[in-house]
Amino acid sequence: MCSSSLSVAKESFFLLAPLELLRSEDVKNITSIEELEKVKIDEQFIRYCIGEYKPAIITDNLFSFFRFTEKQAYLIIIDKRIDSTSELQRYNFYGLLDTYGKGKIVISSSTLTSEQIKKSINLTNVLINQGQTFILELFQLHTDYDESQDWWMHDVIYEIIVASYQDSNNDGIGDIQGLRQRLDYIQSLGVNTIWLTPIYTSPWKDYGYDISNFCDIDSRFGTLDDFRILIDDVHSRQMRIIIDFVPNHTSNEHPWFQAALHNDPKYIDYYIWHKGKNNGKELPTNWLGASGQRMWTFSSERNMYYLHQFLDCQPDLNFRNENVLDEIEKIFRFWLDLGIDGFRVDAVRHLIENDQYHDEPLSKDAKDMDPNIMYVAYDHTESADQSGSYELVQRWRKFLDKYAYENNRNYIVLITEAYTVDIKKVMRYFGNNREERGSDIPINFLITYYLDKDENEKHGLELDKVLSDWQSNLPEYAWSNWCLGSHDSHRITSRLPSKELIDGFYMLLLLQSGTALIYYGDEIGMCDRPFTLANSDEIVDITAFNYGEKYFDKMIRDRQRTPMQWTSQEANAGFTSSTVKPFLPLSDTWHELNVEQQQNALRSHLKLFQQLVKLRQQAPFYGGYQKKVIATKELYAFIRWLDTNIYLIVININKKGHDPIINDFTKLLKYQNKELFGEVIARSCNILDDSLIGKEGNQINLNNLILQSSEAIVLKLLTCPSNISFCQQ
């Protein structure tokens, strides 16, 4: 096959395509059709000239195509650029040919190292230098779990607020050493990637999202040396660590902003300033920020207004200043040099504003809310989702690709948070096409938005709508993702029609195709803790005070950020010492709802979560096909299949008190025979042990499947997908 000394003329690669289908522009800069007709195909190339031909990505700079049979497939890639100064180019070939997900170089026009020959290349991330030409032997996504996809595609990503996870030094706030103490637990979940909310130096007026030093650790959490040790610990377990990155703004205590206030010429334009209207007597625009304040605050030092899309202590950076862009890339590099595996970039839709500074119109729902404090009262046509924000994400993706290539690093993931219900705007963060890539994971908040609906709208048809909207709008070159909640949304268990439904939503999160993101504590079904304005000394989230009594309960975020509940055997749930007051009160449920209790229980949310994480590591869940079977107000069901395996997942959406749901899945799936059976693989905790579906291994007749309210089940069908007509449609 291939050796480090093998080098083949570039023209030969074109001969693997049918000459009669080639155009002169396809071979431009390399050769001509006439010259190719004179060339005889090299013997070592004949083995790759198999089966069918299919074009892949064809541009002025690239010609690529597949040769494939039912059992083998090759991707031939020819870079036609002749300018030696051309940049490293990334292409995404994923989804162009069946479920092929990775490949290895088997032949090249240039000499390769043994390391390059051995390395698997993910088809979402093929990096090509000027003039490179090679053949990839392709492998199906499902061939092997660990090798099937890049780590970020099949891992479960576990979000942690470090302050709320584990206190190691008894000061009432979680820290890096405390997190290290809990790595065994995190690993026991089957989670391989942890995502940390901000741990940078900060005045901590917004949970660390107000940053005064991007290149150091806040002393609340430890030191840079502590963090280096954490990275080593995580990597030694074959796990990965990503961190929140907050480029939109800094703290007003950041040296850059302080220098700008004092008219330092280097830093004045690091931020966005405006003289205001009517000689400074009026705000520049009517823009309302996402933290319940107008976006402009007057600076007496400069006699101008500065922009802040969030709190007035979080001035926005000016990304039209090339020096700011350079600073951001230095910060990226600092953390990458420490060994970070990726970034979750905060608030990307707010990065760029229209610099014409037009007012924004009220939304159609504004009549139902206070436009002086509620962000959603406006259509943010001027201050959100501007074209420049998408371009910045693409720039940063290129920077990370180049860093990984030059430093021989594994893939560096780029996750983005764009909190908007407009799905088309979210999809744009994936990038423009297969060449101009952006975010790997623009977080999918659609299930979160579904849970924000009124109680009478939280039914199966609405659920089907949000799931279908995401899947139908997903670009063919993009990888899906699913999320139940985060630090910015109330706990999922507190928003479901029934708390027992958490198990069914685990199945949606973990068994659909795509990356799964889970918020700490959701694996045990943690609930919100109520806060009141009367007990203001308990409140950490100062943004809540901007909303007044009417909106306070809806807008306060402390509810979902309470300390992790480890045990009922120790004070403060094992989060911190019994003699210490936690920085934020614990949820009242910690005595009966905690990790230890669920680890010791015969069945629990935690044990089901762990079971489903293991299940998703099997085909067809990480590389197979998916299709909705039925969606009604009461029920949602879908199937996953690949090769000889097919699974049915059924969720009863109803609250307690409703009649059981009975369905004939033999008919729904259009099975060829009269009876279809399924084996119980996993079931929700509220399914009684003595019911027909109450034990794993039980075989159930699917002609008459009965589910009680809020029950959910995973069944392996005792037949092949080829016998299910529904799979063939």
Per-residue model confidence as pLDDT tens digits over 367-413: 889 999 999 999 999 999 999 999 999 999 999 999 999 999 999 99
pLDDT, residue 1, reads 38
Strands (E), 130-185: 133-140, 156-160
Residue 71 falls within a domain, yes or no? yes
**What pLDDT is recorded for position 5?**
38
Q: Average pLDDT over the chain, rounded to whole?
A: 94
Sequence-ordered alpha helix ranges (H) in 514-575: 548-555
Both tokens of 698, joined, read: 């039980």
The DSSP 8-state label assigned to residue 196 in this structure reads E
- Other C-beta atoms closer than 10 Å to the C-beta of 182 total 20
| Per-residue model confidence (pLDDT) at position 609 | 98
pLDDT at 116 > cutoff 70: no
pLDDT at 3: 39
Q: What pTM does this model have?
A: 0.95
What mean pLDDT is predicted for residues 572-592? 95
Helix (H, G, I), strand (E, B) or coil at 47: helix
Of 144, 160, 183, which residue constitutes the final position of a domain? 144
What's the pLDDT at 521? Answer: 98
Quote the domain boundaries for residue 103: 20-82+92-144
pLDDT score of 409: 94
Give the model's confidence band at 259: pLDDT under 50 very low, under 70 low, under 90 confident, else very high. very high
Q: pLDDT confidence of 2, banded at 50, 70, 90?
A: very low
% of residues, the chain, pLDDT over 90 = 86
Gyration radius from the chain CA atoms: 27
Asked if the model's pLDDT at residue 692 lies above 70, the reply is yes
Tens of pLDDT, residue by residue over 164-180, are: 999 999 999 999 999 99
Q: How many helices (H) and strands (E) does the chain have?
A: 20, 29
pLDDT tens by residue, 177-195: 999 999 999 999 999 999 9
Which pLDDT score is estimated for 99? 83
CATH number of the domain that 666 lies in?
2.60.40.1180
Selected catalytic residue, list 155, 167, 346, 634: 346
pLDDT of the residue at 10: 84
346 is catalytic: yes
Name every residue whose Cβ is closer than 8 Å to that of residue 338 and which is 6 or more positions away in sequence: 224, 227, 228, 231
Half-sphere exposure of 83 (CA within 13 A, CB side): 5
Q: Is residue 664 part of a domain?
A: yes
Tokens 């074009």 sit at which residue?
55
Average pLDDT over residues 207-221: 98
Q: Is 299 helix (H, G, I), strand (E, B) or coil?
A: strand
DSSP, collapsed to helix, strand or coil, labels residue 295 as coil
Which one of 144, 169, 185 terminates a domain?
Answer: 144
Instruction: Answer yes or no: is pLDDT of 317 > 50.
Output: yes
Report strand pairing: 240-245 vs 193-196.
parallel
CA 198/CA 181 separation, integer angstroms: 19
On the question of pLDDT at 143 being above 70, the answer is no
Beta bridge partners of 627: 639
Mean pLDDT of 420-445: 96
What percent of the chain stands above pLDDT 70?
97
Residue 705 pLDDT > 80: yes
Rounded average pLDDT over 68-92: 92
With respect to residue 332, please indicate whether it lies within any of the assigned structural domains. no
Give me 358's structure tokens. 């037009």
Confidence of residue 84 (pLDDT cuts 50, 70, 90): confident
| pLDDT higher than threshold 50 for residue 606 | yes
- Note if 337 is an active site residue: no
User: Does 108 reside within a domain?
Assistant: yes
Question: What burial letters (b/e) apply to 544-566, b meaning 16+ CB within 10 Å?
Answer: bebbeeebbbebbbbbbbbbbbb
Residue from 316, 382, 417, 503 carrying the catalytic annotation: 417
For the stretch 287-299, pLDDT in tens is: 999 999 999 999 9
Q: Structurally, how many domains does the chain consist of?
A: 2
Mean per-residue pLDDT, 703-709: 96
Is the residue at 304 inside a domain? no
The answer to whether residue 194 sits within a structural domain is no
Let me know if residue 189 belongs to a domain. Answer: no
Helix (H), strand (E) at residue 598: helix 595-600
**In the predicted model, what is the mean pLDDT of residues 215-244?**
98
Choosing from 129, 144, 159, the residue where a domain stops is 144
Is residue 115 very low, low, confident or very high in pLDDT (cuts 50, 70, 90)? low
Query: Could you tell me if 565 and 573 are in contact, meaning their C-beta atoms sit under 8 angstroms apart?
Result: yes
The confidence score (pLDDT) of residue 113 equals: 67
In a domain, residue 463? The reply is no
